[in-house]
Amino acid sequence: MKQVLKAIFLLGVLFTPSYLSAQNAPVINSTVSGKIVDAITKEALIGATVTIKGITNGSVTDINGQFNLVTAQKLPFTVVISFVGYQTKEVVLTDNNVEILLQEAANQLDDVVITSRRRQESAQDVPIPISIVGGTRAEDAGAFNVNRLKELVPTVQLYASNARNTTLNIRGLGSTYGLTNDGIDPGVGFYVDGVYYARPAATALDFIDIEQVEVLRGPQGTLFGKNTTAGAFNITTRPAGFTPSGSFELSYGNYGYIQAKASLTGPLSNKLAARVSFTGTQRNGTFYNVHTQLPINDINNIGVRGQLLYAPSDNVKITLIADVSDQKPNGYGWPVAGVVPTKRAAYRQFNAIIADLNYKLPYSSAFERIVDLDTPSKADNQLGGVSLNADIKLGGGTLTSTTAWRYWKWTPLNDRDYIGLPVFTISAGNSVHDQWSQEIRYSGKISSRLSGVVGLFGLWQDLKSDPVQTEEAGSAQWRFAQSSTSALWKTPGLFDNFGIRTTNRIQSTGLAVFGQVDWAVTDRIHILPGVRYNYDKKVANYKRETYGGLQTTDPALIALKNGVYTNQAFDTDVSEGNFSGQLTLQYRASSAFNAFGTYSISYKPVGVNIGGLPTANGQVLLDLARVKPEFVNHLEFGVKTKPTPNSVLNVVFHNTEIKDYQTQVQTAEPGVNRGYLANAEKVRVVGIELDGNIRVANFLTLNAAVAYTDGKYVTFKNAPVPLEETGGEQAFKDISGGALPGISKWSGSVGGEVTARGKLISLKGNYFFGVDAFYRSSFSSSPSPSQYLNIDGYSLINSRLGFRASSGISAFVWARNLFNTNYYEQLLAAPGSAGHYAGIVGDPRTYGITLRYTF
């Protein structure tokens, strides 16, 4: 079956261009040129966007204010010209080499165009809560990956102890909190140029030549290929173009930070254009490992992306994209942040254990940025792929086909005990992943009052160990595993190099048909129903075998070894089909007031445990292999307004209830790697979000967003006990009413930039000063609420100061975490539940300088 799918995929890649070109006879393109200037000063405007109205062809003005449009359209036709700080203007071109005057727009805020509904439209007109971050804004703010982007969008949460163990959530929902379990799908869709990225490790990689990031909040299953129960990231990169242009950027900062970016685009012929982009980031480690006497947790990233655009006519656009990104850091390892007294006997408390082993932590606070790790750390993360996208204009809409193959390769080595003793000496969950996806979608107008989207989507995944995953104990393991006062625990060599080698595999199939209609009942009232059918199947194989340790036939010693690691094997398959959908009512009172309400039901696919299963009385609990799908019941109301031409103010109320919530739970069994998955009976997340921005007198822009989010377990009667209750009479407890992990009740961001015209040496342009602030209140860092594993609220301030020349040259200095705030991003209980936990510590103050040139 796998070979058949590969053959189908390759045939689609090979023959789609030929088929499409056969359906559309080539049209010889012509070039229309012109110049954009300031209406008063007559100075050339560099970087203004010129787009042919109704289609995607466009150009950007060069250093002389010139633009060149390569098009098959005959004059006359209409173009739309936009430039920051100026009024957007529509002009009918009747001749070549025209000069177009733009007026300043001191009291007008730039409109933001999005593509989340598979067509270009204003973000303020869309009845979806959505946050937009432009590529330039992200670059200026130093948000070169999703982890940094979350400081600009307070409804986004991302937690990562390394690339694999990444949780990406919106409004606190999406993925399980804590260590990643491969057996379930994320609830937040991650799309780049229309291609779904299935692995959460993709969020750890550097952005490559990003045009715009759209963050959609709430279920989006009737618009996107993959079902997304919590929201979606819709990321678009800068496309290949027929007008030669490029950008180069170099940054240098403390901790040896160096980042280089480059991008070039231009025509290869009158129908074929190309774009190639590169990014590389290096930074020294922000922690020091006293065991190896070397820095740790550095950055060593590189990525390249290439595009080919084939445009045989204005009705056909075919894009071939290939990319690869690679991370090879020395990391990640984390310090012990604290010790929890458990309900185990006194000799089983962490401090007593390390005292008996004559060990003492070489630091008193995680914020000293010192670790003591006896296992070398590695987190090699590689991700790449190829996609072929075809857009064909048919009738009143566009037929889109997106075919993609992607891969992920993960090669880690971790110190799971977080200390310098040989407790867990090897933790290497080597994995390799292949995915194939195909989406066919039609979006457009059905009649004057009816438009919509309908599509088919298929996703096939193969995730397996590469070739095995290894966990190994060391000579100090006996003291951490000791559960009685028997002298047998001290048997020499009992646990030395005792471990497990695991082979596992998940083969997943996800198929869907979806559609959404926009019915304009009147010019002001729109009804938008949507429906989706999903089918998901997962086939899992798991086998682990023990090795090493003292070779013995003594039943008592074998029983002690089995308390740490045992052989385990199981095969299982799960499948589920379901219908979901939504209904939105939209009321546009005017161009400045857009109200909407949405009710939706959605499903997060069925899951399977693949990291090992807990045991009871020596028997594997096979019933836990299957994880029931989530049933999501979602309601929200929102209002998008433009109180004045230079301001935007939006507010949204949302309420989400989830039955059979998929959650990650920890167990004291070391062999259950990364914990295991379970279903909480019911959870609820309710909140209010407010965001807005304003432009003042064409020299000051301000933006702000605030979110109140309350997430609770409504019912979870059989949850594992928190760390401090380990060793008590009960292994499970009722945590109904407890807080969901990772959710701050209050979070917010505020930013602004002030500009002033001036000169730097002989360059004309604008000086600018920008500040971004981010705040979040305290939150739980444990799936079962713990009085110890809570993270205090914190604030971060980032700033930049520099000059943007009209010639395309920019230079600015920047600082992140300006006031050097100490804060945790996550707290993680160590395996074995001895009582200690690690702290994922946020970056310290960093600063540097960036030079950029665009043309």
DSSP class per residue in 452-501: EEEEEEEEEEEEEESS-EEEEE-TTHHHHH--S--GGGG-TTSSTT-EEE
CA distances from 409 to 144, 163, 402, 429 (A): 21, 11, 23, 11
pLDDT digits (tens, 9 = 90+) for 308-365: 999 999 899 999 999 999 999 998 899 999 999 999 999 999 999 999 999 999 999 9
- Please tell me the distance from the alpha carbon of residue 807 to that of residue 62, in angstroms, as a whole number: 8
The whole-number pLDDT of residue 5 equals 41
Where residue 675 falls among pLDDT bands split at 50, 70, 90?
low
What pLDDT does 540 receive? Answer: 92
Confidence of residue 133 (pLDDT cuts 50, 70, 90): confident
- Cβ atoms of residues 199 and 433 within 8 Å: yes
Among 263, 331, 321, 327, which Cα is nearest to 296's?
Answer: 331
DSSP for 181-201, written as a single string: -TTS--SEEEEETTEE---GG
Q: Residue 538 above 90 pLDDT?
A: yes
Average pLDDT over residues 87-105: 83
Taking the alpha carbons at both ends of the chain, their separation in whole angstroms is 49
| 180, HSE (Cβ side, Cα atoms, 13 Å) | 23
- DSSP notation for 580-642: EEEEEEEEEEETTEEEEEEEEEEEEPPEE--S---EETTEE-GGGGEEPPEEEEEEEEEEEE-
Of 83-87, 261-265, 350-354, 804-808, the one with minimum mean pLDDT is 83-87
Is residue 450 over pLDDT 80? yes
Report the pLDDT averaged over residues 780-790.
94
Average pLDDT (449-469) is 94
- Per-residue pLDDT band at 24 (split at 50, 70, 90): very low
Report whether 260 contacts 249 (CB < 8 A): yes
pLDDT for residue 15: 37
> Quick one: which H or E segment has residue 50?
strand 49-52
Phi, psi of 623 (to 5 degrees): -60, -20
One-letter amino acid at 761 equals I
The CA distance from 477 to 475, in Å, is 6
pLDDT tens-digit readout, 719-733: 888 999 988 888 888
User: Distance between CA atoms of 428 and 425, rounded to whole angstroms?
Assistant: 10
Residue 325 sits at φ, ψ, to 5 deg, of -130, 145
Per the model's pLDDT, the better-predicted residue between 203 and 551 turns out to be: 551
3-state secondary structure of 303: strand
227 — pLDDT class (breaks 50, 70, 90):
confident
pLDDT category of residue 76 using cuts at 50, 70 and 90: confident
Dihedral sign, Cα of residue 286, residue 287, residue 292, residue 298: negative
Nearest 10 degrees: CA dihedral of 478, 481, 483, 486? -10
Residue 575 CB neighbours (<10 A):
12
**CA angle centred on 72, ends 70 and 74, rounded to 5°:** 110
As a whole number of angstroms, the distance between CA 333 and CA 163 comes to: 12
pLDDT tens string 259-270: 999 999 999 999
Residue type, 603: Y
Asked if 710 and 686 touch (Cβ cutoff 8 Å), the reply is yes
Q: Count, in order, helices (H) and strands (E) of the chain.
A: 6, 54
Q: What is the β-pairing status of strands 130-134 and 210-217? A: antiparallel
Give Cβ neighbours of residue 727 (< 8 Å, ≥ 6 apart).
Answer: 342, 343, 344, 345, 348, 833
Q: Determine the Cα–Cα distance for residues 109 and 837; give it in Å rounded to an integer.
A: 48
Residue bearing the bigger pLDDT, 233 or 609: 233
Q: CA 400, CA 440: separation in Å to the nearest integer?
A: 6
Judge if pTM exceeds 0.95.
no
User: 831 or 820, which is more confident?
Assistant: 820
Would you state the pLDDT for residue 25?
A: 38
Mean per-residue pLDDT for 524-538? 95
Least confident of 494-498, 597-601, 763-767: 763-767
Q: Please report the pLDDT score of residue 265 as a whole number.
A: 94
Q: What are phi and psi of 285, to 5 degrees?
A: -65, 145
The SS3 of residue 737 is: coil
* Lowest-confidence pick of 48-52, 345-349, 593-597, 675-679: 675-679
Q: If pLDDT is split at 50, 70 and 90, which confidence band does 86 have? A: confident
Percent of the chain with pLDDT over 70: 91
CA atoms within 13 A on the CB side of 479: 20
Name 772's Cβ contacts closer than 8 Å, sequence gap at least 6.
141, 151, 152, 749, 750, 751, 797, 798, 799
**Of 620 and 80, more confident:** 80
Residue 163 has pLDDT above 60, yes or no: yes
421: helix, strand or coil: coil
Structure tokens belonging to residue 176: 């399980």
Distance of alpha carbon 770 from alpha carbon 786, whole angstroms: 39
Residue 276 CA to residue 238 CA, distance in Å, equals: 10
pLDDT in tens, 467-482: 999 999 999 999 999 9
Is the per-residue pLDDT at 710 higher than 70? Answer: yes
Does pLDDT of 372 surpass 80?
yes
Distances (CA, A) of 271 to 243, 266, 389: 12, 11, 16
